[in-house]
Amino acid sequence: MHGKVLYVEDQVDLGFLTKQYLEKRGIEVIWCTTGKTALEAYKLHFPLQGLIIIDIQLPDMDGFDLARRIAAQDERAYFIFLTARTDRIDRMLGLELGAVDYIAKPFEIDELVLRVKNLLRHVYFTDEQTFEKQSISQMGDITLNKSSLSLMIDGQARIPLTIREAELLEYLFQRKNVVVRKEDLLLRFWGRSDYFIGRSLDVFISRLRKFLRNSSTGVSIENVYGVGFIMNVPD
């Protein structure tokens, strides 16, 4: 198996087909048809962070509410929202909840599988010892621990991070004082570039920027208008 996902979809035909398709590609799928059973399944099958694919229109609760409840248990959870609704407000709400992707129905199953496989490479780690050795990054008064998904600034209390926040920060760390194109970040971490995914990136960058405001050494993330971002690290 190449990772595990929690899939929440009340349409039986679509749910069965998608589950079968993902499993043929080596992905273990826990399929639930209600928000209640999904909450129970997440507690049972995902003791650490996980990837959750959620249909927004569920019979017993709103998919966004389900995501909030899971996030309250696990800040490191990944969410992909599926919906037949195309309202801009719904899309923005999903991204504000920390969604890493938002897919409109009807969708191509091959495309969904590709996105899931790309995300699972970031959720699961195959060599824990190597990962642990490479997980700590230091810059100025900032310590990023990707293993524990935490950030320490100026020796203060640890700040919990989501996996995506840690990945973005590490990537910017590695390219300090160099302009990073927004499109390159989108393609690297989301696999595509469009308006709504771009807004999702903006949400993550905004959260990281707020954390870094506590840096006494002046480390910061700045916008480069029309291009992208730069991690400023004073000499």
Residues 8 and 35 in one domain: yes
Average pLDDT, the chain: 82
Question: Residue 124's CB: how many other CB atoms inside 10 A?
Answer: 15
For residues 63 and 59, what is the distance between their CA atoms, to the nearest angstrom?
10
- 143 and 112 in one domain? no
Residue of 1, 116, 108 whose CA lies nearest to 54: 116
Q: Which of 123, 157, 182 is the last residue of a domain?
A: 123
- One domain for residues 182 and 88: no
Q: Are residues 117 and 224 in the same domain?
A: no
Assess whether 100 and 27 both reside in one domain: yes
Host domain of residue 143: 129-232
The pLDDT, as a whole number, for residue 130 is 40
Please say which residue of 102, 123, 144 terminates a domain: 123
The CATH number covering residue 139 comes to 1.10.10.10
Per residue in 12-71, pLDDT tens?
A: 999 999 999 899 888 889 999 999 999 999 988 876 557 899 998 899 998 999 998 988
Instruction: Give SS3 for 85.
Output: coil
Which of the two residues, 74 and 187, has the higher pLDDT score? 187
Whether the CB-CB separation of 221 and 140 falls below 8 Å is answered with no
Taking alpha carbons only, the member of 76, 78, 24, 73 closest to residue 54 is: 78
pTM: 0.59
In this prediction, residue 159 carries a pLDDT of 83
- For residue 140, is pLDDT > 50? yes
Residues 19 and 34 in one domain: yes
Q: Are residues 23 and 46 in the same domain?
A: yes
Could you give the number of structural domains in the chain?
Answer: 2
109 and 36, same structural domain? yes
